[in-house]
Amino acid sequence: MTSDTKKQVVLMKGIGVSSGIAVGKAYLLERGAIEPAQYCSIDRSEAENEIERFKKALKESRDQLLRIKKMMEEDKRGKEHIRIIDAHLMILKDNMLINDTIKIIREEKINAEWALKNVLKSLMEYFNKIDDEYLKGRSSDIEHIFNRVLINLLGRKHESISEIKEPSIVVAHDLAPTDTAQMVNGTVLGFLTDVGGITSHTAILSRSLEIPAIMGLETITRKVEAGDTVIVDGTTGTVIINPSESVIDVYKKRIERFKDYGKALLDYRDLPSETTDGRRVKLMGNIEMIEEINPLIDHGAEGIGLYRTEFLYMNRKDLPTEEEHVKAYRHVVKKMSPNPVIIRTLDVGGDKFVLRVVADETNPAMGLRAIRFCLKNTDIFKTQLRGILRASSSGKVKVMFPMISGIDEIRRARALLEESMAELKAEGKPFDPNIQIGAMIEVPSAAIIADLIVREVDFVSIGTNDLLQYSLAIDRVNEHVAYLYEPFHPAVLRIIKTVADAANLAGVSVGVCGEMAGEPEYALILLGFGINNLSMNAFSILRVKRLIRSISFAEARKICKTILGFATAKEVEAYIASRMPELYKEEFWS
C-alpha cells in the first residue's frame, strides 16, 4: 500500500451503468480495437489459403463460444444469459461476415485480417449514422465477434475473464457481453471501460449480476496501471485511482452501507406499493429484451408497463414474421403471468433505429414515426397486431399505441386491431377479445385533448421522454440542448396534471413509463398528481416503492399544489430538494 500512496490520485467520471461500490486492484484486460497488418496483391493460391485461415478462425471462435456457453450452463445466473452467447453464435454464421469477407479476399486480393476489418468498418459506418443508443449497444456485439475472429486469425491468445484468480477490478477498452457473462464466479468486483453505454448488453448484464460498473470513461486504460488500487462507485459513475487509505476506509464503510441498503430494499419486495394513507400505485417494469425480465421479477414488478418491441426488427434485413412476434411476446407474457404485460406497438423512426422501409427524413422526430408509420404500412402493423393478439391467449396482455397525436389515429389503430381479431376468429386462432387498448401521451396535442382521448381507450401512459422533447422543443439526442431537459419545468408539471386529471375524472388508469417514473423525487410529484401506475427499470422499483410507502397521498398532493405556484424549474427543484430528506429519510444516508 505504501507504493500506492506515492502514486498520483486520479478522479474520473463516466457513465455509472450498474450501481454499487467496489474497491480492489486493477486487472488490465486487452480488449478493443486491433490493427492487423495489411498485405495486398496476393496471388490466387494465397487468396485460397487466406480463405482457409479465415474459416479455421471462424471454427476456433465458434468452439470458444461453445466452451463459454457450457461453462455458463453450469451456473444458475450464467444460464439466464445464454441467449447472448447464442446471439453471438448466430452472428458468427452471418452471411455478410462470411461471404463478404471471402469475396473481398478474392476480389481485392488482400489478407483475411484486412478483409475482415473492411467488412466490419463498412458495417460500423452504417451503425454510426444511426443516432440510437440501443442500436449502438447491439453494434458493439457485432464488433466483439469480429474481434474474436480477428484475434484467432492473428494467432493471439484471447485472455479469458475466467482466468482471473484474485478479486480484481477489470479495466478494459471495451468488454463483450461474453466477458461480463463470465463474471459469475465473484472474482470480478467491478469493471471499468473506455467505451460503451447504459443500454449495451454488457451494461445490462452487469446490472443483472449486480457488479458495480462504469463505462464510457474514454481514457481509463491509459490512466490505470495493473495492480493500482481503484475505487468504483457505479451509483455516481466516479472512479478514484490510487486513493489514500482514509478515502478507502470511507468507501469500505459505504460498501457495507450499500449492502445494508440493498438488503433493506429487498424487504420491500413483497410489501404493497401503498402510501401511508392507503393510496395504491402500481409499480411495473420497462423492458426491451428478455434478459431484463428476471431482475424485474426479483424486484417485485407488478407486470410490464412498457414492452418496447423495436428489438424484434433490429439487426436484420427482413421483417419479423407473425410467428416470431407470437413467440417473443408469449415468452414474456408467460413469465410475467398472472401480471399484465403492456406491449407497445412498433415505435420506429425519430431517434429510434431506422428500418430499411423508413424513408430518409430531414426532421425524423416530427416525421413518419411510430403510429404514423404503422398506419401507413398496415401490412407491417397488422402482422404485429396479430402477433400481440395471439399472445393474449397466454396471459394478460394489453396493447399500447405510441406517439398518438389525435383521436383519428386511435380509431384507425383500433379498426386495424378489430380487423385482425375478425381474421383470427375466422382462422380459429385464440385471442383475448376483451384486450385493453392504451394510448401513449407523448405529443402535446394529445395531452391537451386528454379528456377526449380517455373516452376512446382503456388506459393512457405518459411517455415523459418524448413529451418533454416535444413540449420543451428539445431534441432528446442533442447534447447541446440537454440542459433544457427539465422535468420540473412548470409547463411539464401542468401538462402531466392535465392528463392525470382528465384520466381520473373519466375513471381511466393513467401511468408514466418515461424515465421520470423511476426517480423518487419525480415519482413523488407523479403520485401527488394522481398517477396510479409507474413503469421503470428493475433497480428503481424498490427505491420508488420505499418512497411511496414513506409518505401520504395527502402530503404529496399538497406538495404538488405548492410547486404549481413556482415559476421556474429551479425553484421547484430547490423546494423538492429541501423536502426530500424529511419526507424520505431512509434514502438520505451518506
What is the rounded CA–CA span in Å between residue 552 and residue 558?
A: 10
Q: Does 442 bind ligand PEP (CB under 6 A)?
A: yes
Q: Which of 306, 328, 346, 457 touches ligand PEP (CB under 6 A)? A: 306
- In the complex with Mg ion, the residue whose CB is nearer, 87 or 314, is 314
Residue 300 interface partner, choices Mg ion, ligand PEP, none, CB cut-off 5-8 Å depending on type: none
Residue 513 interface partner, choices ligand PEP, Mg ion, none, CB cut-off 5-8 Å depending on type: ligand PEP
What is the rounded CA–CA span in Å between residue 138 and residue 85?
A: 13
Q: Which residues of 485-524 are buried (b: 16+ CB within 10 A; e: fewer)?
A: bbbbbbebbebbbbbbebbbebebbbbbbbbbbbbbbbbb
Stretch of 204-212, 246-254, 384-392, 461-469 contacting ligand PEP, by CB under 6 A: 461-469
What is the rounded CA–CA span in Å between residue 376 and residue 386?
A: 17
Tell me which residues are annotated as active site: 201, 513
What is the rounded CA–CA span in Å between residue 590 and residue 577?
A: 15
- In the complex with ligand PEP, the residue whose CB is nearer, 177 or 514, is 514
Q: How far is the CB of 517 from ligand PEP (least distance, A)?
A: 9
CA distances from 424 to 83, 330, 395 (A): 31, 17, 17
Q: Does 438 bind ligand PEP (CB under 6 A)?
A: no
What is the rounded CA–CA span in Å between residue 371 and residue 349?
A: 10
Q: Does 113 bind ligand PEP (CB under 6 A)?
A: no
Q: Which of 513, 538, 542, 551 touches ligand PEP (CB under 6 A)? A: 513
Stretch of 104-112, 160-168, 236-244, 463-471 contacting ligand PEP, by CB under 6 A: 463-471
Please write down the HEC assignment for all residues of 165-222: CCCEEEEECCCCHHHHHHHHHCCEEEEEECCCCCCCHHHHHHHHCCCCEEECCCCHHH
Give the SS3 label for residue 438: strand
Q: Which of 143, 466, 521, 555 touches ligand PEP (CB under 6 A)? A: 466
Stretch of 28-36, 130-138, 183-191, 459-467 contacting ligand PEP, by CB under 6 A: 459-467
Task: Give, as ranges, the residues between 471 and 510 that touch Mg ion (CB under 5 A).
Answer: none
- In the complex with ligand PEP, the residue whose CB is nearer, 60 or 310, is 310
Residue 509 makes CB contacts below 8 A (sequence gap 6+) with 458, 459, 460, 503, 532, 533
Residue 238 interface partner, choices ligand PEP, Mg ion, none, CB cut-off 5-8 Å depending on type: none
Q: How far is the CB of 515 from ligand PEP (least distance, A)?
A: 7
Q: Residue 61: what residue type?
A: S
Q: Does 546 bind ligand PEP (CB under 6 A)?
A: no
- In the complex with ligand PEP, the residue whose CB is nearer, 50 or 288, is 288
| 532 and 511 Cβ atoms separated by less than 8 Å | yes
Q: How far is the CB of 265 from Mg ion (least distance, A)?
A: 28
Residue 537 interface partner, choices ligand PEP, Mg ion, none, CB cut-off 5-8 Å depending on type: none
Q: Does 464 bind ligand PEP (CB under 6 A)?
A: yes
| 164 and 171 Cβ atoms separated by less than 8 Å | no
Q: How far is the CB of 466 from ligand PEP (least distance, A)?
A: 3
Residue 512 interface partner, choices Mg ion, ligand PEP, none, CB cut-off 5-8 Å depending on type: none
Q: Which of 305, 463, 487, 530 touches Mg ion (CB under 5 A)? A: 463
What is the rounded CA–CA span in Å between residue 202 and residue 2?
A: 35
Residue 306 interface partner, choices ligand PEP, Mg ion, none, CB cut-off 5-8 Å depending on type: ligand PEP
What is the rounded CA–CA span in Å between residue 22 and residue 12?
A: 15
Size of the site for ligand PEP (CB under 6 A): 10
What is the rounded CA–CA span in Å between residue 260 and residue 258?
A: 5
Give the strands of the sheet with 229-233, arranged side by side. 10-13, 238-241, 229-233, 21-29, 168-172, 188-193, 213-215, 15-18
Q: Does 233 bind ligand PEP (CB under 6 A)?
A: no
CA distances from 447 to 202, 404, 505 (A): 37, 10, 15
Q: Is the dihedral of CA 390, 354, 139, 20 positive or negative?
A: negative
Residue 1 makes CB contacts below 8 A (sequence gap 6+) with 229, 245
Can you say how many angstroms the Cα of residue 290 is from the centroid of all Cα atoms in its chain?
11
| 318 and 383 Cβ atoms separated by less than 8 Å | no
Q: Which of 463, 487, 511, 528 touches ligand PEP (CB under 6 A)? A: 463
- In the complex with Mg ion, the residue whose CB is nearer, 216 or 463, is 463
Name the residue among 452, 458, 572, 586 with its Cα closest to residue 510.
458
Which helix (H) or strand (E) is 282 found in, with range? strand 282-287
Bridge partner list, 28: 171
Binding mask 421-460 for Mg ion (x = CB under 5 A): ---------------------x------------------
- In the complex with Mg ion, the residue whose CB is nearer, 442 or 555, is 442
- In the complex with ligand PEP, the residue whose CB is nearer, 202 or 345, is 345
Q: Does 466 bind Mg ion (CB under 5 A)?
A: yes
Stretch of 254-262, 430-438, 458-466, 540-548 contacting ligand PEP, by CB under 6 A: 458-466
Binding mask 314-353 for ligand PEP (x = CB under 6 A): ---------------------------------x------
Name the residue among 226, 126, 210 with its Cα closest to residue 171.
226
Residues in touch with ligand PEP (CB under 6 A) = 306, 308, 347, 442, 463-466, 513-514
Residues in touch with Mg ion (CB under 5 A) = 442, 463, 466
